[in-house]
């Protein structure tokens, strides 16, 4: 009888004791604590970066290194390695000289005082009228062939 009572009490204690829930809560707490430590480290790094960015010399250093900006009255020069030298590195990916030139016809608005003139083609082609018609209403395109025809014909109104 005594052994059965002890066994029954162990079963009742095991069934109602929240050991599994306590274990999961403990692991969740440890995970949250580790995440909090990472956030504290990031916060400290951001505070240091904020302190550095309040210094004018740091701002000018970043402007020179990352954006190739100089102070008024200064000129920026870049010394290039000799052609075919072994130490020639790949050019800086943000270098605007690496991008292709922009065609004047693709510029939407010329800056004031540029003195640039644009020439209009003598005849507008069907492709030009279709592209102008589609540019007239940049909203959602009309579905189907009939809708596209109406969009193209809308140019002639």
Query: For 9-49, what is each residue's pLDDT tens digit?
Result: 888 887 777 777 888 899 999 999 999 999 999 999 999 99
Query: Which two tokens mark 88?
Result: 């020639």
Contact yes or no for 60/71 (Cβ under 8 A): yes
Give the tens place of pLDDT for each residue, 119-144.
444 445 544 544 554 555 445 554 67
- For 83-149, the DSSP string reads TT-TTPPPPPTT-GGGSPPPPGGG-SSPPTT--------SS--HHHHHHHHHHH--SSPPPHHHHHH
pLDDT at 143: 61
Q: Radius of gyration over alpha carbons of the chain, in Å? A: 35
Query: Which two tokens mark 36?
Result: 């909090």
pLDDT at 142: 45
Domain limits, the chain: 18-72, 128-157
CA atoms within 13 A of residue 80's CA, in its CB half-sphere: 8
């Amino acid at each position: 009888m005594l052994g059965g009572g002890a066994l029954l009490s162990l079963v009742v204690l095991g069934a109602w004791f929240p050991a599994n829930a306590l274990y999961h809560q403990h692991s969740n707490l440890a995970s949250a604590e580790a995440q909090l430590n990472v956030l504290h480290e990031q916060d400290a790094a951001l505070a240091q970066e904020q302190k550095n960015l309040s210094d004018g010399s740091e701002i000018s250093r970043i402007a020179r290194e990352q954006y190739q900006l100089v102070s008024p009255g200064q000129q920026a020069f870049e010394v290039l390695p000799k052609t075919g030298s072994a130490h020639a590195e790949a050019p800086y990916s943000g270098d605007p000289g690496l991008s292709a030139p922009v065609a004047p016809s693709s510029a939407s608005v010329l800056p004031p005082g540029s003195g640039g003139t644009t020439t209009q083609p003598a005849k507008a082609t069907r492709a030009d009228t279709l592209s102008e018609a589609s540019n007239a209403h940049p909203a959602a395109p009309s579905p189907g062939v009939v809708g596209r025809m109406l969009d193209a014909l809308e140019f002639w109104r």
